[in-house]
A = this chain, B = another copy of it.
Amino acid sequence: MDVLQAIFTRRSIRRYADKKIDDKIVDKIIHAGMYAPSAVNKQPWHFIVFEKKETCNAIMEIHKSATMLAEAKKSILICFDENLQHDDGYGLLDCSAAAQNILLAAHALGLGGCWIGIFPRKNRMEGLRAIFRLPDNIIPLAVISLGYPAEAKETPDRIKPDRIHYESW
């Protein structure tokens, strides 16, 4: 899939078909995340792939709008090591760029994905820390739910010319 087509047609997909995702496809998607830029090339990320129903249910208990996990075939928790990031704050940006690569790669490979926000909500971060037994230095940023799409979405018009400025505000 062409990169501009992927960027302009990617949508948040929350309904998934009952079809397995091959492990090699998940690897490829995570590798795409690992090719994001990061501050001073620190690559501070970790990825936890999960599919167990008990894990999905535990997340839905603490994150009421994470209902897409009920149908997700695989999901990826994106975290960063605060000791590996360039300086406090950069890990958030590095992992967000990785998340976007993951969403685009998933879309290109025929999957649908949805960014489930964890950071900056303290209760979600602490909830996921407990569920995944994260060490103190590992900060959970987002979960990306994945599956073959069971919903189709139009491409909306998101172009807002008033958000583009020239030379100064």
A residues sitting closer than 8 Å to B (CB atoms) are 1-8, 10, 12, 27-28, 30-32, 34-37, 39, 43, 45-52, 55, 86-90, 92-94, 96-97, 99-101, 103-105, 107-109, 115, 117, 119-120, 131-135, 138, 141-142, 158-160, 163-169
Which of B46, B87, B105 is within 8 Å of A3, CB to CB? B105
**In the complex, are the beta carbons of B55 and A87 less than 8 A apart?**
no
Contact A50 B90 (CB under 8 A): no
**Residues of B with C-beta under 8 A to A164:** 27, 30, 46-49
What are 21 sample pairs from A and B whose C-beta atoms fall under 8 A apart? A3-B6, A4-B28, A4-B109, A7-B35, A7-B101, A7-B104, A8-B31, A36-B100, A47-B164, A48-B166, A48-B169, A49-B167, A50-B166, A50-B167, A86-B117, A89-B92, A93-B99, A96-B96, A96-B97, A97-B97, A100-B101
Q: A166's contact among B49, B103, B166, by CB below 8 Å, is which?
A: B49
A34 touches B158 (CB 8 A): yes
Q: Do the beta carbons of A89 and B120 come within 8 Å of each other? A: yes
Can you name the residue of chain B whose Cβ is closest to the Cβ of A43?
Answer: B158
Q: Which residues of B contact A92 (CB under 8 A)?
A: 89, 92-93, 96
- Distance, CA A50 to CA B30, complexed state (A): 34
Distance in Å: Cβ of A66 to nearest Cβ of chain B: 13
A134 to B120, CA, bound (A): 25
Closest B residue to A34 by beta carbon equals B158
Residues on B with beta carbons closer than 8 Å to the beta carbon of A160: 34, 43
